[in-house]
Amino acid sequence: MIFSSIPFLFFFFPIFLFLYYLVPFKYKNLILLIFSLIFYAWGEPIYILLMIFSSIVDYINGRMIEKYNNNKVRKKIFLISSIIINLILLSFFKYADFLIQSINSIFNISIPLLKLGLPIGISFFTFQTMSYSIDVYRGEVKAEHNFLTFMTYVSMFPQLIAGPIVRYETVSEELKTRKINFTNFSNGLLRFMRGLFKKVIIANNVGYLWTIMSASNNISVLGSWLGIVAFTLQIYFDFSGYSDMAIGMGKMLGFNYLENFNYPYISKSITEFWRRWHISLSSWFRDYVYIPLGGSRVKKSVNIRNIMIVWMLTGLWHGSSWNFVLWGIYYGILLVLEKFVLKKLLNKLPNILKHIYTLILIIIGWLIFAIPDINTLGEYIKAMFGLNGKIINSEFIYYLNNYFVILLIASIFSTPIYPILEKKLNKNKFIKFLIELIVYISFIIITISYLVSDNYNPFLYFRF
């Protein structure tokens, strides 16, 4: 079940909200836990046991770390236990077949693949539970003594399958006491509707264009750029739309999840881009991998090593395919170059040139990300740079004409135009209310009409 589906919007979520608001506060976590387990079991009835097992492991390890807080050896043993068990689970289900395929290819043998289904959201809830154990070890949070409360934290359906990665410290107090009122509910509902519109109307439409162009046998230079620009917009509106829906639902329930996107496509460097894109993942790798390795407070060669380790792991986190490894190395190299070679030059460039430089590199990065097969990736790159065909053809003209409006809308809404307009409208509360009422009612009508009439409703981050 995905948020942008009829069963979720008209059955699951309304029934959940009715019961959630009906019961006294002391039962709200229980209702949230039950519905979160139902939500997960809807798509993964067997793998729900995996999530419960992971929760039990980290709950026990957290309690043991707290119990032996004054015994460094035992304390560290339980921390290592948490990390190893979590990484084994993640590696087995996500990377076993990738490893077997690589061995088969290198040694020309035929070890049978396990063909395990990927548990939905395993990359997200594994990182959440690991961060909890590490934070308890560091003394940054207290261990949770109520298992149902801890299980609720791990399984909360608003952010379970696609993040943002919520650290325990962010919601530890709200799990026990939180503000549930009309203001939070209405703000959350508007945020959810905005995210739903971004996902269904923008991401799905530009995503369909990418599907067409990437499968074309007659693609031109401009057609190939049109296709990958469409994917660049799709993945932003797909993922940020889902994050908006998660944050909105969190507010409706009394939780304040941290922001996960901050208009990344306005960045003027790759370094800035990764401060604005998937913020919860970037900060996770910074705090739990990069800094423990020594961060930047080491000699240059070690700092470069640290950056490359983090980005190879970031690539692998996204998927079990060599294109993701290549994607991670690509960004690792770019960040090293910006930090040690290009920094002074970039600072001297006009903002518009810095922005163009960044966007081109981002688009190329998404191409590596989008195409798993290395040979196909190579052919597409050839097409982009005029090594495989015509600069322009009728196919490009046809699809540009058909998708120009939605591409323009997507481009505009990938900039901070909404906060700018909101700031201006705040001067007149009544006018702001009327405009928002008209806009959001239009959002709902258009979105629901699209969901009812169209079967194309993918979600890219399900595979992560």
Out of 145, 278, 318, 355, the active site residue is: 318
Q: Please report, as a single letter, which amino acid is at residue 331.
A: Y
Three-state secondary-structure class, residue 454: coil
In angstroms, the Cα distances linking 387 to 210, 327, 366 are 20, 22, 20
**Alpha-helical runs (H) found in 28-146:** 28-43, 48-67, 72-107, 122-138
CA-based torsion, 101, 104, 105, 107: positive or negative: positive
Cα–Cα distance between 125 and 130 in angstroms, integer? 8
Listed residue (95, 96, 160, 157) closest to 122, CA to CA: 160
Amino acid at 32: L
318 catalytically annotated: yes
Q: Biggest alpha carbon distance in the chain?
A: 72
- Of 390, 183, 167, nearest to 280 by C-alpha is 167
DSSP 118-170: PPTTHHHHHHHHHHHHHHHHHTSSPPP--HHHHHHHHH-HHHHTT-----HHH
Quickly count: other Cβ atoms within 10 Å of residue 279's Cβ.
20
What is d(CA 110, CA 104) in angstroms, rounded to the nearest whole number? 6
Instruction: Please give the positions annotated as active site.
Output: 318
